[in-house]
Copies of this chain bind each other. A is one copy, B any other.
């Protein structure tokens, strides 16, 4: 089943060669390849055979020179502008398995379409500029942007440079750019309802950073839902979405409210940290304290006990993000749109 024509080295076979082999013109071969206009089926067959025999592979550069399309998409993972140098190498974000799911969803959508994303990290201002230049050089037709921090200037820069782009999560500032997001408030409500239904009355929460929309919405959504259940006051400690910040926040909460019996933690990584702190303080989970996380990352199942958590359909969201970008590339003038996904509660052992 494997074709293996003799002169497979290098591939200097051009359209011209195929045309000669098939006894037709370059145009006809091009039409067959691109499926444009009607070409006599018999000739089509001849051409196809000629392509197979010659082992022809289209030259991507030549094609994109004339079509002004690269067929490539950039996947940009972006941090804030003014972060410290706590990462000697880029790519540390992949320590969060969440990104693996995003990447998986994107690749799952793009790969069947023959597109492979170009991976870029942009964690400082000068690199933002570099990324932008790269994009404007025509190295990609558009960008998928996953920001790790609020106040990421890149979305705005992208809009200004007219680079088609779609974000994962709503931007902190209102700008005309498409994005996908999860309904954070609904997710937080799911967690609140669950904790209450489990009979927890002294519930606290560990939020994400409050300058991030996700951190903000999960907190307010949780507080509102708890209020609806009659809990006017819910202790709260702010974390930074990292394992250690979750552990530290739990310590603080435990110090100030030793009697708490339930906690909603705004992401799984922090919940994992919270679990460590709880164990350290001799609390059993879920008997003494019920814990609900958010994200359903692989950290959720790696924990002991496995976390009850709010699951985003991350893969679906990432796929939709890619689909939206392709649409924007296809139809340049299109206004920005957004799509919000419903989260689901995944009940495991921690609550």
Is A120 a contact of B127 with CB atoms below 8 Å? no
A64 at the B interface (CB under 8 A): yes
Is B137 a contact of A57 with CB atoms below 8 Å? yes
Residues of chain A in range 72-123 having any CB-CB distance to chain B below 8 Å: 72, 74-75, 87-95, 97, 99-101, 103-108, 111, 114, 116-121
A332 CB, min distance to chain B CBs, angstroms: 10
Is B58 a contact of A61 with CB atoms below 8 Å? no
**Please, which residues of chain B bring their CB within 8 A of the CB of A298?**
95
Is B94 a contact of A59 with CB atoms below 8 Å? no
A319 CB, min distance to chain B CBs, angstroms: 9
Is A99 a contact of B90 with CB atoms below 8 Å? no
Q: Which single residue of chain B is at the shortest CB-CB distance from A106?
A: B91
Is A95 a contact of B90 with CB atoms below 8 Å? no
Is A101 a contact of B97 with CB atoms below 8 Å? no
A213 at the B interface (CB under 8 A): no
A10 at the B interface (CB under 8 A): yes
Partner of A315, one of B10, B89, B119, B136: B89
Interface residues of A toward B: which range?
Answer: 35 or more
A309 at the B interface (CB under 8 A): no
A301 CB, min distance to chain B CBs, angstroms: 9
A286 at the B interface (CB under 8 A): no
Is A100 a contact of B107 with CB atoms below 8 Å? no
A304 at the B interface (CB under 8 A): yes
Partner of A11, one of B90, B94, B116, B136: B136
Is A119 a contact of B107 with CB atoms below 8 Å? yes
- Indicate whether A116 sits within 8 Å of B60 (C-beta atoms), given known contacts A90-B111, A121-B111: no
CA distance A243 to B9 in the complex (A): 43
Is B116 a contact of A89 with CB atoms below 8 Å? no
A351 CB, min distance to chain B CBs, angstroms: 20
A142 CB, min distance to chain B CBs, angstroms: 14
Is A162 a contact of B61 with CB atoms below 8 Å? no
Max chain B CB contacts within 10 Å: which of A106, A118, A136, A243?
A118
27 contacts between A and B (CB under 8 A): A57-B136, A59-B65, A59-B138, A60-B70, A60-B139, A61-B61, A61-B70, A74-B116, A75-B119, A87-B104, A88-B315, A89-B104, A89-B108, A90-B107, A90-B111, A91-B104, A91-B108, A94-B100, A103-B119, A111-B121, A116-B118, A116-B134, A117-B119, A118-B118, A118-B119, A119-B119, A276-B304
